[in-house]
Each structure stands twice: as C-alpha cells, then as structure tokens.
Structure 1
Amino acid sequence: MPHVPPPKRHPYDQWSPDARALDVVGDKWTLLIVRDLAAGPRRFVELQRVLPGISTEQLRSRLNRMVADGMLTRRRYREVPPRVEYDLTERAYALMAVIGEVARWGYDWVWSAPRASERVDVGAIFRVAPGLVKPPPDLKGSVSVVVEDQEGESYVLIAEDGKVKMQESKPETTDATVTGSKDAWVAAFSPDGDLGQLQIEGDRRLATQLLEALALGTEQLARATRAA
C-alpha cells in the first residue's frame, strides 16, 4: 500500500486520481523542486540558488510539505556547521516524465526568447533533459555541456537504453563536449534553434542529436526531421 500523504489545507476534495495528484504536486514550485533534484541531492542553499524568486520561508515550507507527502527525503549529517540534504523519493522521480511533457507543451504553445523579467539559467533546461529527451535506443554516450560565462557551469548528459540521465559535475572524460556563452546557449534553445554558435568537440552526431532533442522537444524534432 503506497504512502498516502496527509490532507492539505486546501484540497480539491474530488475523488479522482488527477485531483489527488494535484493535491500533492499542484502547488507553485513543487515540480521545479523535483526537476532541480533529479540529478541528485542538494542542500537548502543550493536549491535557493537554482530557484530564483522563491523566498526562504516559501522554500522551507514547500520542502517540509514534500517530505511529509513522501516526495523527498531529508538527511542530516553530523558536521560542523550542520549539513542537511534533500533528495527525491521514487514517487517524486516518476514525475520527471510528467515534467518532460509539460516542457514539451511549453515548447509547442508558449515558448519564446527570454522575456525581460526572466532570469536566464541555462542549467534549468539541461535539468529537464531526463524527462524531455527520449533518444533512439542505439544512441549511446556522454556529452559534457559548458556555459562559459555562468562560472564555467558544466553538466553531463548521458544517453543509454533510450533514456537520458543528467549529472551536474565536471567529468574526467566524455564522448563529446559542447561549449558556449550564455548568449550562444540562449540562441540554441530559442525557437529558431540555432546551434551554430556552440563549439562541439568529439562525437558530433551524439552531441547534435541530444541538443536538438533538448532544444526542440522530441516530437518537434521528429516532425522537423520528416519535413526535411
């Protein structure tokens, strides 16, 4: 029998699976917290860094609720100063497929170049890759992606068995490396999908297929390929 979360203060009060799901994941920030923990555990301050706009109290309240709902684990380390890390449970990680579909809908219906009010964190798009990108089963390998003017921020996309995993680390070796400024990555992920400003080293086919799927969404990429 799965863990049943405690009732919310303002539930939908409908006996249907979608309403029950929205009782747990429908609050602001919840799905973005899941997205930003998909690559592994983070501390409170690390979540604050990747979630601009959320207040300290909002984040604390949301994390406490997600722990109570069985979505997160909280691990305390006996260190000085104290360290606490949050990680996804299996039920929370299962939402990455849902987040990928939401991102795909976003590409289809509401996507544009960055708005003046939006903070541009290219890593937010990389972090949705496990839910969004569905590579062909024969596409295997790892790609390091680097955002030069975001403190050399780097991520690793790993394609295997028709899935993509994402790591936030600097690996010793990968099959390909893609480097670009923040502006170059914005051009790549904007509606026109211009990858020409990025520098690709190593397995170009692997890097290009993963980036095109991430920039366009899998279905859009398939349609574009058929049209060509």
Structure 2
Amino acid sequence: MPGADGQFTLDLAVARGAQRIAGVDEAGRGPLAGPVVVAAVVFGPGRTPVNGLNDSKQLNARRRETLYERIVERALAWHVVAVEVEEIDRINIFQATMLGMRRAVEGVLHVAELARIDGNALPHGLPCPAEAWIGGDARDRAIMAASILAKVSRDRMMVALHEQWPQYGFADHKGYSTPAHLSALTAHGPCPHHRRSFAPVRAASAVSAPG
C-alpha cells in the first residue's frame, strides 16, 4: 500500500513471492544529445525463456538486435519511454531518468507485482512496490532485458537523427562526447537535439552565438 506521500514502500513478503517482476533500466544518461530512454520488461511464469541475456554494454549491436526481437516476442509485457531533450534540460538528467523509470513502470503496471530498478535510487511516485538493485543489469534477467530494449531503442533513435543532422555523426557515437562529436559540436554549434544543460553544449553554444 502507498504511504501518506503516495510512495509505495517495499513489502518484503511481496518481494520474496513476486513472480511478475518488472525489470527497469535506462540508456543515454551521459550523452550530449538525444533522449534518455527507459525500458521496463516483465517475464511471467510459463513464458518461453530468452537465452543469452546480459548487460547490454557487454553485447555487440547485432546480438542486441537479435535479443530485442526475442524479448518483445516472449515477454509478458514491456514498455519503452523516451524523455526528450527539452524535459532533460528543464528538470536535469537525473530527474528526467527517474521520470522515465516511473513512466516505464506505469506501462507494465497491469501485470507487474514488483518493480526492480537498476541503480541505487527509486523514482518518486512509483505505482507499485519497488526495490533498487545496484549492478542489476548484470544480476537480474528482467533488468538485463530492459537494458537491451532501452539501448536498442535509443540507438535506433540516434540513427534516425543522423539522417536529419549528418554533420554530427550521431549514427556512430550515438550522442556521446567522443572527440569526433566534440569537434563537430565546435564546428557547427548545437542542433535542437543537443542537451543545453550539459557543459560542453553550453560552451559550444557560447562560441557559436553571434557576437
């Protein structure tokens, strides 16, 4: 049951007995451009297992794409949320990630008994009992699956942005602060999909602004 502030507290009995656990993870907290993407995945009893799951960072792109298709086919429920640059800049990247996690959990609430979130913090206002797992993307299959959905979804978004803004090389670095990206940012200034609340983007904005 939720407390007075609307926040659920973890019922250990629920945690021990839960079979429909929503694993939650994000991709894209660190980049200078593009959304932060959060996924929630629920595997239920009796579903065909997905073999080969791992932290998305430990898998190559081809393997992630293969597992993505298996996850969305075999999961009891899944939901992917993108929190766009405007919201990141307005509330900061940490709060935007927490917001995305809450929205992702809400998308699987019809089946989830418990949310298990990668990291050491729980979003405020979660609609079900939840626990934070540090290093969860290497320990829990549902979190691993969520990390794969989030990573593949975000990479696809960045490839699509590359079609519109090829000068930045988004298809290659996915918005992270590589030397090539920083060089392009200096040369061209930021595009509408750059996070202006991030210091390198602010610096490039100052350089590219008319004097």
Tell me the TM-score normalized by structure 1: 0.26
TM-score (normalised: structure 2): 0.27
Comparing both chains, which one has the higher relative contact order based on Cα–Cα distances under 8 Å and sequence gaps of 6 or more? 2
Normalized per residue, the structure richer in strand is 1
